[in-house]
Amino acid sequence: MTKPRHAWSAALLIFVLALVLRAAFLLEASTKPAFSLVYMDPEYNLEWARGMATGVWNPPYDTLREGPFFRAPLYSMFLAAIWRVFGENPWIFRSIQAILGSFSCVLAFFLAKRLYNQRIGVITGLLCATYWVLIYFDSQFLLPVLLVFLALAGFLSLSFSLERQNLALGALSGLFFGLFAITRPNILLFFPFLALWGLWAWPGTLKKRIFFAFWLSLSTGLPPLAATVYNGVAGGDWVLVASQGGVNFYIGNNPQSNGMQAVVPGTRASWWGGRDDTVAIAELAAGRPLKPSEVSNFWYAKSWDYIRSQPAHWLKLTLRKTAALVGDAEIPNNAPYQARRAEFFTLSALPLGFAAVFSLFLASFRWILPKKSTVDPQNPSRSLILLILTFLATYSASIIAFFVTGRYRVALVPFIAMGAAVGISHGWDFLRQRQWRPLGMFFTVFLLFFALLKPDFFKIKAKTAEFARLTIAQDHMQLGEWNQAITQLNHIRQRRQLRAVEIYISLVRAHLQRGAPGDSHAILPIAEEGLQFYPTDAELLWVAAVGRTQLADWPQARHWIERHLLLEPGNIRALHLACLIATKQNRPADARSALLRAQALDPAHPAIPDMLKMVGASVPRPPGATAP
């Protein structure tokens, strides 16, 4: 039996190694100009935390103050709690996350030690400490750092509960899983299996098992129940945890989906623009304002319509998502972290990727579950390993059911690493005992899986290399480095290897901000080129309409502004431009119509007086006269 002192020494070693690597990455990343920049999901999480911690809600995040949760709230609550204690200090946030991530490596060590032995525990802890993806996400204002901790803490508490037959520890375990659910609700699919497992695995009489299963289920359900009650009472809509489920389900289940890109067809590329568009589309279809739960149900219904009408296409898409989930490529969502990994020595020096760890897990599968002729409920290790395998299966299925990105699978990594550690331990025994045949078989199976998982079948790495250039350009823009941004964006635009509306939008914005001679002439061709590929982007339509107006090309200006107003009928600025164009084309009825629409929206808007002057000056021309 391992001496407790040795176990704690190993735990300390793992913690220090993990923390040193995470601190080294933070110090290295802090030397980059873009280190302090946050956008998209990290910005959302930070701004939500700011509002909860300080009461200061910056638009458009002030919409998060009331109403049901759109996203699960716990991670932003976690940041808000740190904010209240230490104030607004991103370095403190990242440092605490680095400590939490390092502690999670220790939890992985203790869990694997309890289920197998200390050697496997140490290997598991070292794999987690040195896995570059975990190091990266422990520094980001995103969910994985909290998810990994909660999942490991849940299973470790459950292990102690079974061993000691302690209901309180079982309840604590359930609480950890429940908190996971209000961080990322995907785990809800696992909960019925957890309840059934509790009924089966607890030693003793049927009455004791029922009581334990009830206690475990109750504690697991409390956090999501609390979030749901808050949604119903404070938000006026009984949404289970968060209302984004329907939109996310449609993202991964529609005829145009590739299963990996977080875009709803026909919506704007910006975060808030896309969210507002999904609501507007649902309300337009319903013909009335909708509650968040009704918007979610609308998109769920559209997804199921697609699945029923095109089952073969959906099955092919699902297989594609499955392959993407287990492949080596790290699919980006906010930032192309794998493509930019080479910028950081700390990350690039650590070679272990997902394909290697998962191939070791698969090659080790016959040893992961201890051999037993029949399942023994009295063996807590075996029953808990079965539960962990169920978690891996259900959580993976929940990701595939929606859409796949690299960060969604991070919560699975410590448990996959534990299975890989089992194989490494057996391989070492084979080597030490010179058992060449089983060692050769294990290594061969590993290589076969690795050869299958390593190739980038979907060209994700090539595409994200261009995406990385786009994020670098956007970093330059955030820093006010317009020349560098324009150079980078034009390079991407000319190569045509990445199709993204952000290329054109960012180029337009960079030229506008730089304001150098010739920039005004460059903007219109960029916008109109972008509209060839993204004909429904409202920002590009606006820029094209303004550009044609400046050239006095009234027919084309009319074309662009009318298409813009189809997307944004309540945009008074666009109605003002439509009124101007109609006046120049001698269309007084259309000019007056634009004025009346603007007055109905906001009679006190500053554009109204100018529109009144234009309409007053818009006099019908004699027959045969041409518009200017």
DSSP codes, 431-450: HHTT-HHHHHHHHHHHHHHH
Q: How far apart are CA 139 and CA 22, in angstroms?
A: 8
Amino acid 469: pLDDT:
83
Taking CA atoms, 490 is separated from 466, 487, 526, in Å, by 12, 5, 10
Q: How far apart are CA 149 and CA 143, in angstroms?
A: 10
Q: How far apart are CA 324 and CA 21, in angstroms?
A: 28
Amino acid 109: pLDDT:
97
**Positive or negative CA dihedral for 46, 52, 58, 63?**
positive
- 156-187 pLDDT, tens digit per residue, is 999 999 989 899 999 999 999 999 999 999 99
Amino acid 622: pLDDT:
45
pLDDT surpasses 60 at 627 = no
Q: How far apart are CA 18 and CA 124, in angstroms?
A: 12
Compute the mean pLDDT over every residue in the chain, rounded to the nearest whole number.
90
For the chain, the structural domain boundaries read 4-240+328-453, 465-617
Q: Residues 120-125: what's their mean pLDDT?
A: 96
- 127-153 pLDDT, tens digit per residue, is 999 999 999 999 999 999 999 999 999
pTM score, whole prediction? 0.87
- 594-620 pLDDT, tens digit per residue, is 999 999 999 899 999 999 999 886 544
Q: Residues 289-307: what's their mean pLDDT?
A: 95
Amino acid 628: pLDDT:
38
- 524-540 pLDDT, tens digit per residue, is 999 999 999 989 888 99
Q: How far apart are CA 259 and CA 262, in angstroms?
A: 8
Q: Residues 187-196: what's their mean pLDDT?
A: 96
Query: Which of the given ranges, 51-60, 307-316, 365-374, has the highest pLDDT on average?
Result: 307-316
Amino acid 626: pLDDT:
47
Percent of the chain's residues with pLDDT above 90? 70
Q: Residues 455-460: what's their mean pLDDT?
A: 82
Q: How far apart are CA 467 and CA 464, in angstroms?
A: 4
pLDDT confidence tier of residue 2, bands split at 50, 70 and 90? low
pLDDT surpasses 90 at 372 = no
- 373-413 pLDDT, tens digit per residue, is 444 545 678 899 999 999 999 999 999 999 999 999 999 99
Q: Residues 476-496: what's their mean pLDDT?
A: 88
pLDDT surpasses 50 at 625 = no
Top CATH class, 465-617: mainly alpha
Taking CA atoms, 391 is separated from 209, 522, 529, 553, in Å, by 21, 54, 48, 61
Q: How far apart are CA 210 and CA 208, in angstroms?
A: 5
Q: Residue 245's closest CA among 320, 185, 322, 334?
A: 185
Phi-psi region of 241 (alpha: psi -120 to 50; beta: other; left: phi over 0): left
**Positive or negative CA dihedral for 370, 374, 375, 381?**
negative
pLDDT surpasses 50 at 249 = yes
For residue 383, count other CB atoms closer than 10 A to its CB. 19
Question: DSSP letters of 466-489?
Answer: HHHHHHHHHHHHHTT-HHHHHHHH
Tokens of 486: 């324009």
pLDDT surpasses 70 at 19 = yes
**Phi, psi of 184, rounded to the nearest 5 degrees:** -140, 110
R_g (Cα) of the chain, nearest Å: 28
